Amino acid sequence: MTARCPSDLRLEGYLLDPERSELGEHVGGCVTCRVRLERMNAGGDDFRQYVFPATIDAVVAAAAPRPRPGWIAPFLPVAAACAAAMIFLLKPVPPEGILAARGEVLSLEVFTGSSEGARQLGNGELLPEGTPLRFRVKTTVPCRVRVVSADCEGRVVLLYPPPGEDSPIVSGTSVLPGEAKLGGDEGPERIFALCSREPLPVLALAAKLSDQATGDDDRVRRASRLSGLPEGTLQATLLVEHGEEKAGQGHPEK
C-alpha cells in the first residue's frame, strides 16, 4: 500500500458513506486503517448503546444547559466545527447498527446480581463462571424481543424468552423476567437483543449467529451487528468475557 493513510476525519467520511467514498480501495488493502475503522465502529456502538437515548431526550426537551467542568468548554467549538464540517461536506448514509429505517432505537442493559444489589455490566466485562444475568431493554417502538448469545465455540443460547416460548411484545423500558446464565468456557461471548415486528424464526436466527458471531475469539468480539435479519429488526449487543478476574484487574469503565 503506497498511499498515505487518511486522517481520522476522512475515515469518518468513509464510515458515513463507504459506497461513495474514494477511500474504499485504500481501506481494503490497508490493515492499519481497517483496525482504525474497527476501533471507530466500537466507539459508534458505545455511542448508540449508552449515549444516543439520553442525547435524543436532551435535544428534544431542549433542557436547560447542565453545569459541566470548565475544562470541557474549550473543546466544544472544535468538536462542533468537526461535526458541522461533516454535515456540510458529507452525505448521510442509511442507518446502521442498532438503528432501523425510521430512527427507532433498541438498547440493551445487562445486570448481574450480588449481595450488594444489581450492577450494570460494561461492554467487554470479565465474568466468573455461572454469573446470573438479568436484562433490561429500551425501545422506542413496540416490538417482539429476543435475547440470544453466541460464543467462540459456536454455541448459541436462547437467553430470553426460554426455548419454546414466543417473544413477547415490549415497549419503552422493560426489565425482562427471569435470570440467565452464560456458558462457562473462557473467552468472549456476545449477547444480542433483537426486536422485530414478527417473531424471529429461531432456527434461522441461530444459523445467522453461528455464521456471523462464532468461530474464534476475535470474530465474537468484532460481531457487533448481525446482518440479514428481517427488515426493521432492531438490535443491540453487549460483549462479555468469561474467566476469573486476576489480581489488579478492574472492571472496565462504564
Partner 1 sequence: MDHRDAAVRLCRDYGPAVYRRCLRLLRNREAAQDATREVVMRLFRSLGREFS
B/e letters for 104-113, b = 16+ CB within 10 Å, e = fewer, are: bbbbbbbbbe
As measured in angstroms, the least distance from the Cβ of 49 to partner 1 is 11
Query: What sign does the dihedral 113-114-116-120 (CA atoms) show?
Result: negative
Q: Which of 35, 56, 175, 207 binds partner 1 (CB under 8 A)?
A: 56
Tell me if 236 sits within 8 A of 98, measured CB to CB.
Answer: yes
76 binds partner 1 (CB under 8 A): yes
Interface positions, 5-24, toward partner 1 (CB under 8 A):
8, 12, 15-16
Residues 100 and 233 sit within 8 Å (Cβ to Cβ) = yes
**Under 8 Å CB-to-CB from 156, ≥6 apart: which residues?**
148, 149, 150, 206, 209, 210, 214
Using a 10 angstrom Cβ sphere, with 0-12 exposed, 13-18 middle and 19 or more buried, the burial of residue 231 is exposed
Does 89 contact partner 1 by CB under 8 A? no
**Within 104-143, which residues bind partner 1 (CB under 8 A)?**
105
Determine if 103 is a binding residue for partner 1 (CB under 8 A): yes
Closest approach of partner 1 to the CB of residue 232, in Å:
15
Q: How many CA atoms lie within 13 A of 94 on its CB side?
A: 6
> d(Cα 3, Cα 81) in Å, to the nearest integer?
27
Strand (E) or helix (H) holding 212: helix 202-213
Total of residues contacting partner 1 (CB under 8 A): 44
- The stretch near partner 1 (CB under 8 A) out of 98-106, 156-164, 230-238, 243-251 is 98-106
Residue from the set 38, 46, 179, 211 that interacts with partner 1 by CB under 8 A: 46
Part of the chain binding partner 1 (CB under 8 A), chosen from 69-77, 208-216, 218-226, 239-247: 69-77
* Binding footprint of partner 1 on the chain (CB under 8 A): 8, 12, 15-16, 40, 43-44, 46-48, 50-52, 54-56, 58-60, 62, 65-66, 68-69, 72, 75-76, 78-80, 82-84, 86-87, 92-93, 95, 99, 102-103, 105, 253-254
